[in-house]
């Protein structure tokens, strides 16, 4: 018997315990072990029913995603009877099999549970078919068994949406038969005793929830419409709806065949490869060379935020949401009141939308203590400064914090562009200083760039990495340079969008091309949303690089000079109606035409392909520089930043992964073309050039980094 599934008995109940840490994924040997155990208990006359349970922290979290790359179009050749056949065999067992669920039963895990005859779960358990988040659909009967248990509406929602549901909801929909309070195994064994001797109830035989064609038609149509809006350009959710529809039209085995066909189409798609890259990427970014589980961490039980503006208020909400009490400081009462009123309004909106209850809102508000002084800061484990983006002010505040914060407290700055080492120089403890760059709105956006200064200690980094997870964020460690990773790359991205308009593309054509590529929003509309005046003021303050020979965008400064700051003034690249709907702007037309004339730029017709190449490859080229300079640890770190902070479509895997899929040789050739046409800003990054010449990818670069880190660890 495989070690991955252990066999034991409690009287006349056979127990199979899956033991494949950390999440009991269905790696080779696990399904086979389950089958072997079921067959062994079938032969054992003393056994009357069987319980299948997960060892460790969870039931089965699904197929082993790392194995997907080994599946070929001909099927999963390595695996004897195949997973579907194994589940059929479990379902056909002569003795009742009860799945006992704690933690999560996801994907193939839920499919395994549904092939059992009954399911019991602890109240905290969750079940789901999250495959669409990996660009695939359930491939082991999920789309056929779930509608038989839960009905069409719920099955479509779960298979096409991918979000898990609680054990309580699963009970309501018939996915789970009983909630077990207290010890799960004892409860499951006693439930199995009740079923012992009765004929197994096979999910495949249940048909009363499959509905009628008349009732189901509108459900499928509405699901397709909603999917096209909410999961724009994604293939798998529509395939999942097709597969559930097959359950209503075909006998069970034929439905399984149809599901398999659709599963394979999705699995071999670029979207699935990209989304699987993202799944592992989100976990990879947590791995920092030189920092391990043993690195000491600083307990953050209480925090403080300086500045109650949009960012500071949002950050205070993030801490309050995670159950961490936070002091929120402003310099004058009016600003503090405004900040608190915004927080209250945001929370009230969430209550109105049903995201949480009034009581939860009250609890969260109670965790935020407004203040005009540093009183109480001395007890706090961490402070985040979120004031106006100016070095002098930041240094002044860090000098003050250095005096009031206790030894060992983390001093963080929410700066989005400034030099963290210079900020740290205002303190006597630069090792405790780190950049925590939240994205706006801070309580919504998942990205948290953690900026490592020269002196930042490993303990501070390790603490902030795990704190990110606690705060519901994806923390990505970056190095110190102007704009760090995200904003540094965003600069050429938005610059190219403006150049394209100067050269003849319309504002709408630029934004539409990027929207169709999959970006949440076009780059010019994004500028209007963020406020064109922000960059304008910084350029005026710092002089930027206006006097160099490098081409600089012309239009945004002129828009700002005339007061067109974007959405906040209802006019920028677009003009906006009272509902903030963007409309074509004649003012922008006039300014654009004048800028073209002044710079003597001949207008030309520009294809949407060129628009996408110019804008996306500008990201890739800067990303390659950032990588080579070590500002980002890996290409995948850049991808995760762009997916979570800048609206890059997850199904394209991030800018660096996308470049790999295009081919770095082709990307580099286009960059060289652009250099010829547009000058020095397009000089190819040396790393891009080298990888292209060697026929390699950014993923190869990451592999080398991982090997180097492993070798360094082995030496230490």
Q: How far apart are CA 189 and CA 96, in angstroms?
A: 12
Among 4, 7, 15, 23, binds ligand 3H9 (CB under 6 A): 23
Question: Would you say 326 or 636 has its CB closer to ligand 3H9?
Answer: 636
Helix (H) or strand (E) holding 413: strand 410-413
Q: How far apart are CA 272 and CA 235, in angstroms?
A: 9
Q: 3-class DSSP state for residue 307?
A: coil
Q: 3-class DSSP state for residue 177?
A: coil
Question: Would you say 76 or 389 has its CB closer to ligand 3H9?
Answer: 76
* Cβ at position 72, least distance to ligand 3H9 in Å: 13
Among 16, 25, 90, 465, binds ligand 3H9 (CB under 6 A): 25
Which of positions 213-272 make contact with ligand 3H9 (CB under 6 A)?
none
Q: 3-class DSSP state for residue 29?
A: coil
Q: How far apart are CA 714 and CA 442, in angstroms?
A: 39
* Cβ at position 393, least distance to ligand 3H9 in Å: 38
Tokens of 185: 């195994």
CA angle 491, 495, 500 (to 5 degrees): 155
Among 32, 91, 111, 511, binds ligand 3H9 (CB under 6 A): 111
User: Given CA atoms 518, 524, 530, 536 in this order, what sign does their dihedral have?
Assistant: positive
Is residue 140 near ligand 3H9 by the rule CB under 6 A? yes
Q: How far apart are CA 589 and CA 575, in angstroms?
A: 11
Question: Would you say 285 or 505 has its CB closer to ligand 3H9?
Answer: 285
Among 14, 142, 161, 492, binds ligand 3H9 (CB under 6 A): 142
Question: Would you say 279 or 356 has its CB closer to ligand 3H9?
Answer: 279
- Burial string for 215-247 (b: 16+ CB within 10 Å, else e) reads ebeebbeebbebbeeebeebbbbbbbbbbbbbb
The 8-class DSSP code of residue 581 comes to -
Helix then strand then coil, % of the chain, to nearest 5: 55, 10, 35
Q: Which stretch binds ligand 3H9 (CB under 6 A): 19-27, 220-228, 409-417, 586-594?
A: 19-27
Which of positions 40-79 make contact with ligand 3H9 (CB under 6 A)?
61-66
* Cβ at position 260, least distance to ligand 3H9 in Å: 9
Give the residue numbers annotated as catalytic, written as ranges.
111, 131
Is residue 96 near ligand 3H9 by the rule CB under 6 A? no
Number of residues interacting with ligand 3H9: please give it, by CB under 6 A: 24
Is residue 106 near ligand 3H9 by the rule CB under 6 A? yes
Q: Are 342 and 330 in contact (CB under 8 A)?
A: no
Q: Which stretch binds ligand 3H9 (CB under 6 A): 102-110, 167-175, 214-222, 647-655?
A: 102-110
Q: Which stretch binds ligand 3H9 (CB under 6 A): 6-14, 104-112, 575-583, 585-593?
A: 104-112
Among 31, 130, 339, 655, binds ligand 3H9 (CB under 6 A): 130
* Cβ at position 57, least distance to ligand 3H9 in Å: 7
Among 254, 283, 403, 703, binds ligand 3H9 (CB under 6 A): 283
The binding track of 515-534 with respect to ligand 3H9, each residue x by CB under 6 A or -, is: --------------------
Question: Would you say 284 or 587 has its CB closer to ligand 3H9?
Answer: 284
Q: Which residues pair with 7 in a beta bridge?
A: 16
Q: Which stretch binds ligand 3H9 (CB under 6 A): 131-139, 371-379, 399-407, 676-684?
A: 131-139
Phi and psi of 380, rounded to 5°?
A: -80, 145
* Cβ at position 159, least distance to ligand 3H9 in Å: 10
Among 3, 22, 543, 577, binds ligand 3H9 (CB under 6 A): 22
Question: Would you say 96 or 138 has its CB closer to ligand 3H9?
Answer: 138
In SS3 terms, 338-406 reads as HHHHHHHHHHHHHHHCCCCCHHHHHHHHHCEEEECCCCCHHHCCEEEECCCCCHHHHHHHHHHHHHHCC
* Cβ at position 170, least distance to ligand 3H9 in Å: 16
Among 33, 96, 138, 281, binds ligand 3H9 (CB under 6 A): 138
Nearest C-alpha neighbor of 619 from the set 671, 547, 696, 545: 671
Q: Which stretch binds ligand 3H9 (CB under 6 A): 130-138, 406-414, 431-439, 535-543?
A: 130-138
The 8-class DSSP code of residue 601 comes to P
* Cβ at position 286, least distance to ligand 3H9 in Å: 7
Question: Would you say 107 or 653 has its CB closer to ligand 3H9?
Answer: 107
Question: Would you say 235 or 595 has its CB closer to ligand 3H9?
Answer: 235
CB atoms within 10 A of CB 24: 29
Residues 228-236: contacts with CB under 8 Å, at least 24 apart: 231/132, 231/160, 232/518, 233/518, 233/649, 233/651, 234/132, 234/135, 234/271, 234/651, 235/135, 235/266, 235/269, 235/271, 236/131, 236/132, 236/134, 236/135, 236/136, 236/137, 236/266, 236/269, 236/271, 236/272
Q: Are 412 and 439 in contact (CB under 8 A)?
A: no
Residues lying near ligand 3H9 in the complex (CB under 6 A) are found at 22-23, 25, 61-66, 83, 104, 106-108, 111, 130-131, 134, 138-140, 142, 280, 283
């Amino acid at each position: 018997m495989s070690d991955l599934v252990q066999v034991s008995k409690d009287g006349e109940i056979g127990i199979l315990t899956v033991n494949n840490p950390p999440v009991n994924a269905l790696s080779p040997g696990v399904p086979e072990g389950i089958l072997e155990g079921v067959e062994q208990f079938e032969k054992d006359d003393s056994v009357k029913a069987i319980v299948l349970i997960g060892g460790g922290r969870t039931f089965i979290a699904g197929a082993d995603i790392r194995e997907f790359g080994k599946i070929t179009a001909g099927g999963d050749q390595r695996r004897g009877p195949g997973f579907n056949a194994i589940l059929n065999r479990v379902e056909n067992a002569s003795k009742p099999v009860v799945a006992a669920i704690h933690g999560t039963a996801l994907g193939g895990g839920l499919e395994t549970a549904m092939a059992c005859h009954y399911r019991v779960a602890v109240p905290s358990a969750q079940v789901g078919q999250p495959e669409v988040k990996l660009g695939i659909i359930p491939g082991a009967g999920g789309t056929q068994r779930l509608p038989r248990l839960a009905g069409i509406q719920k099955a479509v929602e779960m298979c096409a949406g991918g979000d898990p549901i609680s054990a309580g909801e699963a009970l309501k929909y018939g996915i789970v038969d009983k909630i077990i309070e207290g010890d799960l195994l004892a409860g499951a064994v006693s439930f199995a005793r009740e079923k012992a001797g009765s004929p197994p109830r096979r999910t495949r035989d249940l048909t009363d929830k499959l509905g009628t064609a008349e009732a189901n038609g509108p459900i499928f149509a509405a699901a397709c419409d909603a999917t096209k809006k909410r999961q724009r350009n994604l293939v798998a959710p529509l395939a999942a709806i097709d597969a559930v529809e097959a359950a209503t039209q075909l006998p069970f085995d034929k439905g399984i065949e149809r599901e398999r066909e659709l599963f394979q189409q999705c699995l071999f798609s670029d979207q699935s490869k990209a989304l699987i890259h993202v799944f592992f990427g989100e976990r990879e970014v947590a791995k920092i060379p030189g920092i391990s589980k043993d690195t000491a961490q600083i307990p953050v039980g209480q925090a403080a935020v300086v500045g109650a503006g949009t960012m500071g208020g949002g950050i205070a909400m993030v801490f309050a949401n995670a159950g961490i009490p936070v002091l929120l400081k402003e310099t004058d009462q009016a600003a503090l009141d405004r900040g608190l009123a915004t927080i209250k309004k945001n929370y009230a909106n969430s209550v109105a939308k049903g995201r949480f209850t009034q009581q939860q809102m009250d609890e969260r508000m109670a965790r935020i203590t407004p203040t005009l002084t540093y009183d109480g800061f001395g007890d706090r484990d961490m402070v985040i400064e979120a004031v106006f983006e100016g070095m002098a002010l930041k240094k002044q505040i860090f000098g003050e914090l250095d005096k009031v914060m206790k030894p060992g407290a983390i001093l963080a700055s929410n700066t989005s562009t400034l030099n963290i080492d210079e900020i740290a120089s205002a303190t006597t403890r630069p090792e405790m200083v780190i950049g925590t760059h939240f994205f706006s709105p801070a309580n919504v956006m998942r990205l948290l760039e953690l900026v490592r200064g020269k002196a930042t200690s490993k303990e501070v980094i390790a603490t902030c990495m795990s704190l990110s997870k606690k705060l519901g964020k994806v923390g990505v460690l970056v190095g110190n340079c102007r704009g760090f990773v995200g904003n540094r790359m965003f600069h050429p991205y938005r610059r190219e969008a403006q150049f394209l308009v100067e050269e003849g593309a319309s504002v709408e054509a630029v934004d539409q091309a990027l929207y169709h590529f999959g970006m949440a929003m076009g780059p010019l509309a994004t500028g209007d949303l963020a406020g064109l005046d922000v960059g304008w003021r910084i350029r005026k303050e710092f002089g930027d690089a206006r006097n160099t020979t490098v081409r600089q965008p012309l239009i945004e400064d002129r828009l700002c000079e005339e007061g067109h700051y974007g959405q906040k003034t209802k006019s920028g690249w677009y003009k906006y109606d009272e509902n903030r709907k963007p409309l074509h702007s004649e003012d922008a037309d006039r300014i654009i035409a004048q800028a073209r004339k002044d710079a003597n730029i001949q207008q030309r017709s520009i294809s949407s392909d060129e628009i996408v190449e110019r804008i996306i490859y500008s990201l890739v080229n800067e990303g390659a520089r950032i990588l080579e300079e070590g500002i980002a640890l890996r290409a995948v770190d850049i991808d995760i930043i762009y997916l979570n902070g800048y609206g890059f479509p997850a199904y394209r895997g991030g800018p660096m992964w996308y470049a790999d899929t295009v081919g770095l040789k082709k990307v580099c050739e286009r960059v060289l073309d652009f250099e010829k046409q547009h000058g020095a800003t397009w000089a190819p990054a040396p790393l891009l050039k080298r990888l292209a010449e060697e026929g390699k990818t950014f993923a190869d670069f990451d592999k080398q980094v991982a090997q180097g880190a492993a070798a360094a660890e082995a030496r230490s």
